[in-house]
Amino acid sequence: MTASERRPRLLYLAFYFPPSRASGVYRARATANHFAAAGWDVTVFAAPLGFLYDVIGSTDEKLLETVDPRIAVERPELDTFRWEHELQNMSWFRGTMPTASKKLFDWYEARQFPEQYVSWARSSVGKALKLHRRDKFDAVLATGNPFAAFAAGWAIGKLARIPYVIDYRDSWTLDLFKDEPAYPPKHPTWKWERRVIGGSAATVFVNNALRDWHAERYPGAADRMMVVPNGWDPDLLELPPAEPVETATPQGPLKFGYLGTITTHQPVEEMAEAFRIARAHPDLSGAELNIYGHLGFFKHSHASFLPRLGFDATGQVDPELDAGLRLRGPVSKTEVSSVYADSDVLVFLAAGGRYVTSGKIFEYMATGRPIVSVHAPDIAAREVLEGYPLWFRADSLDPEKVAQSFIEAGQAAREATADVRAAARRHADTFKRDTLLAPLEARMRTLVRPSTVQEQSS
């Protein structure tokens, strides 16, 4: 870079960013790191720490250490009115007139943007313009959810006269679990989506099914839509070297593993029942299904999941009803390698239908382990798993059929050849995160104005 050039400046709106442990944080972390490594001056706008620690109570400190130190992280303010329940922290008006104050708050919020994070978006616009006056940004990239980030990106792009790109790492107006629109036809969300997609320099989706759904609704912007799948992060996953078959073959009872957050939409009962049935097979005698991760996203949400998984309120199970499931608790993202190393088979438990691609599946494939699918048969993740030689799935969520997949995967864990294991890893290598993010970075570089080349300072 010559003396007359400067690094292009990117403003990245990513509400869920380390130390958050929300499911989308890994795409956000990888995106910011990728742009920084590619020569961009990156500023991230993220959620306030007080919200992450005090409201959600869901953080991973070690993940924060993996953010490129060249990245500047700002945390615009968020009005926590709807999450505040302590009387001593409330204003006089709210404390004495709670119903009126809530109606006023809801009215004011709704007239700006139909989402509860609009105050953060409003703060982001103000902070962005202030920073832009000091040192101009060249482009804005916004990832949702929350989708108020899209509105902020649109406003910043319009007011600062710079291009903005929106990244749908999640769906906004499509209900992924019902495969139908998430809002009635006249809901204001549709107006906002038309606005932000119509003005975006590019709109990014995680799979082809989602891109096609949106392209059909917004044909005028279809040529500016692209797919950037999720992937896996080599810097967060220490893979063991390929082992001789005799070393890699498990000798004792098989260990199945699920790693991730258990959510209300996942078919957890079907998984538990299928595994109970599979354990009756001689090849799975004594096998365990270890569940690593949180039960739900919030502090007290685990209680509702325990009975669905066959546990009592204390997390214990009746030995006579034991289906082989074991709760192992949360694991830091930086420590997941040891979980994979200790698992003979990985269980891909996912919610939703044909528009869903879970980020976890890429990491699963990178291990080269057998994978059992427990999800709807037409899930979008199929396009990622097709070609992975150690993938075992049923054509439905019938527990008897899923149990057969568990059995076949267990047999593969003991019998897969070195060539098959190597082929599995080669398939996974095509989904390394930096490889997948490269087209997005290249696309955004074409949007950068000549202002990145400055005249020699006198």
Share of the chain above pLDDT 70, in %: 82
Structural contact between residues 234 and 256, judged by C-beta atoms closer than 8 angstroms = no
Q: What is the pLDDT of residue 457?
A: 33
Confidence at 314, pLDDT banded by 50, 70, 90: low
Q: How far apart are CA 406 and CA 336, in angstroms?
A: 22
Share of the chain above pLDDT 90, in %: 64
- Residue 416 vs residues 203, 218, 389, 407, 410: alpha-carbon distances, Å: 41, 46, 10, 14, 10
Burial class (CB in 10 A: 0-12, 13-18, 19+), 455: exposed
Three-point CA angle 149, 150, 155, nearest 5°:
95
The domain limits of the chain are 9-231+434-448, 255-431
**326 vs 15 pLDDT, higher one:** 15
Confidence at 262, pLDDT banded by 50, 70, 90: confident
Structural contact between residues 364 and 348, judged by C-beta atoms closer than 8 angstroms = yes
Q: How far apart are CA 434 and CA 309, in angstroms?
A: 36
Over residues 300-322, mean pLDDT: 66
pLDDT of 184 strictly over 90? yes
Give whichever of 276-280, 381-385, 453-457 has the largest mean pLDDT.
276-280
SS3 for 164? strand
Q: What is the pLDDT of residue 215?
A: 98
Closest CA to 71 of 48, 44, 31: 44
pLDDT of 456 strictly over 50? no
Over residues 90-114, mean pLDDT: 61
**71 vs 265 pLDDT, higher one:** 71
Per DSSP bridges, beta strands 345-349 and 391-392 are unpaired
**250 vs 19 pLDDT, higher one:** 19
Q: How far apart are CA 77 and CA 45, in angstroms?
A: 10
pLDDT of 269 strictly over 60? yes
**312 vs 255 pLDDT, higher one:** 255
Whole-number mean pLDDT of the chain? 87
Structure tokens that stand for 260 in this block: 């991730």
Fold agreement (9-231+434-448, 255-431): yes
Q: What is the pLDDT of residue 360?
A: 85
- The position carrying tokens 């899209």 is 150
CA atoms 267, 269, 270, 275: torsion sign: positive
Confidence at 458, pLDDT banded by 50, 70, 90: very low
Q: What is the pLDDT of residue 208?
A: 94
pLDDT in tens, 112-164: 688 999 999 999 999 999 999 999 999 999 999 999 999 999 999 999 999 99
Q: How far apart are CA 407 and CA 118, in angstroms?
A: 49
- Long-range contacts, 84-90 (Cβ 8 Å, 24+): none
Q: What is the pLDDT of residue 389?
A: 98
Structural contact between residues 36 and 6, judged by C-beta atoms closer than 8 angstroms = no
Q: Which fold has domain 255-431?
A: Rossmann fold (3.40.50)
Confidence at 358, pLDDT banded by 50, 70, 90: confident
Q: Which of the residue ranges 16-20, 121-125, 235-239 would you say has the lowest mean pLDDT?
A: 235-239
Q: What is the pLDDT of residue 32?
A: 98
Confidence at 91, pLDDT banded by 50, 70, 90: low
End-to-end CA distance of the chain: 18
pLDDT in tens, 273-292: 999 999 999 999 999 999 99
Confidence at 102, pLDDT banded by 50, 70, 90: low
Over residues 319-334, mean pLDDT: 78
Confidence at 104, pLDDT banded by 50, 70, 90: low
Expressed in percent and rounded to 5, the helix, strand and coil fractions of the chain are 45, 15, 40
Domain 9-231+434-448 has CATH 3.40.50.2000: yes
Confidence at 295, pLDDT banded by 50, 70, 90: confident
**96 vs 194 pLDDT, higher one:** 194
pLDDT of 432 strictly over 90? yes
Confidence at 202, pLDDT banded by 50, 70, 90: very high
Q: What is the pLDDT of residue 453?
A: 42
- The position carrying tokens 């599995």 is 424
Q: What is the pLDDT of residue 84?
A: 56
